Structure 1
């Protein structure tokens, strides 16, 4: 099975160099490139769904929101969440009204735990994901998530299964958190990335190694795709019947709580 990893960005400027797609099969990295835009990722995944060969694609943004927030907005299904992100997301990003925060002049309007989904609260020690409500500042994932959710709506309609809302199918999308795959490494350091690759992935081709040493985003995509091929996801990838998980989603990968 092809394992595809997308290192995503929600940035309005500079995203072309920060979005990377990697593909690996049986522990071998077969492709790594920067597609140039979020739209190009969408088009690539739509095209991949038309290929009958099975694929598991990991996207590194939040697939849902904390259940309490979904309930407060009257959203009862993940489709409601994604539709709202499509229709209202740019307003959320522009206004940065609570519960969103992170823009200059704003502070977090709730305690840290309240901003996290269940999957983030129980993440492995030392690998704490950020809140979807944080849309600015170091490590923020909210902007990318809000601009990614509408794509999930479209890809699901085109035939991709989206876990944990659907059982895995021939083509399945999962939420990933690259830190679960890389472990403790100072990813902003090219030397640290090179050392990590020499130690853990010495068989990577010189071409891919050069790209991953030059770009933290390429590193995340390449390592995630490789590590996805080494995990037995199939037994765990069934649609969750937990009502909270069905609104929040869940991270898939080592160190994650599979539900």
Structure 2
């Protein structure tokens, strides 16, 4: 199975400059590259689907929204949420109606157990010591909402074209592509990713990264995240390769991150 990871971008005008795609096998980074916009990532997935080897592709954006929000807007499953994002996502990003926040003049909603800002999978990641942010946050440091909303709007199109989306779909057989939601911080460790020197030191100490790729990996946070996510997935390739479709109603409504085994 081929293993790739995409560091995604929700940038409306310059996603091509930010998106990075890395490929790895167990114990070795094979490549990291840029030059694709969001539609280009879709083209890559379709090209992989035509290849002779199955592929698992990690995407670092939220595949869904908290269940209470989805249900309140008439969505009973992930495809319903993707349809919402395709129809209303740009308005959410432009007007930032509650519970979205992050634009000037908006504030983070107060905590409400009946209307949590995190999905169940994000809460579970938090219990493991990780710190995923709410998809409702569409601006500010580390915000993931913009990229996620624009990514959700594409997932239905990709799935209709034959790309599997976990947890709705199982790992492919001898051919095909499955995309999974990943959280790169689970695979980078506690390195200060905003520091170029820290990234370079981390890369230099990682024997899985060939010398000829070190500068490219350390050059930006985007490349660093893509490379380490691909390596993390490849180290546990039996996990993505054996994923089954989830029957859990919350998984099928909110989505679920793939995280590497602990320990």
- CA drift of 1:107 comes to 0.3
Matched, 1:147 2:150: yes
Give the aligned partner of residue 141 of structure 2: 138
Q: CA RMSD in A?
A: 1.7
Give the aligned partner of residue 51 of structure 1: 51
Alpha-carbon contact 1:22-1:33 (below 8 Å) kept: yes
- TM-score, normalising length from structure 2? 0.91
5+ residue gaps, structure 2: none
Cα distance between partner residues in 2 of 1:222 and 1:121: 25
User: Secondary structure at the residue paired with 1:53?
Assistant: coil
Matched, 1:165 2:171: no
Give the aligned partner of residue 204 of structure 1: 209
User: Secondary structure at the residue paired with 2:5?
Assistant: strand
Matched, 1:228 2:230: no
Alignment of 1:60-75 (within 5 A): 60-75=60-75
Give the aligned partner of residue 123 of structure 1: 125
Cα distance between partner residues in 2 of 1:227 and 1:35: 23
Pair 1:54–1:223, CA change in 2 (3 A): same
5+ residue gaps, structure 1: none
- TM-score, normalising length from structure 1? 0.93
Cα distance between partner residues in 2 of 1:176 and 1:70: 21
- CA drift of 1:241 comes to 1.4
Q: Following TM superposition, where does structure 1 have runs of at least 4 consecutive aligned residues deviating by more than 6 angstroms? A: none
Give the aligned partner of residue 193 of structure 1: 199
- CA drift of 1:236 comes to 5.8
- CA drift of 1:167 comes to 1.6
Cα distance between partner residues in 2 of 1:131 and 1:195: 30
- Matched residues, number: 255
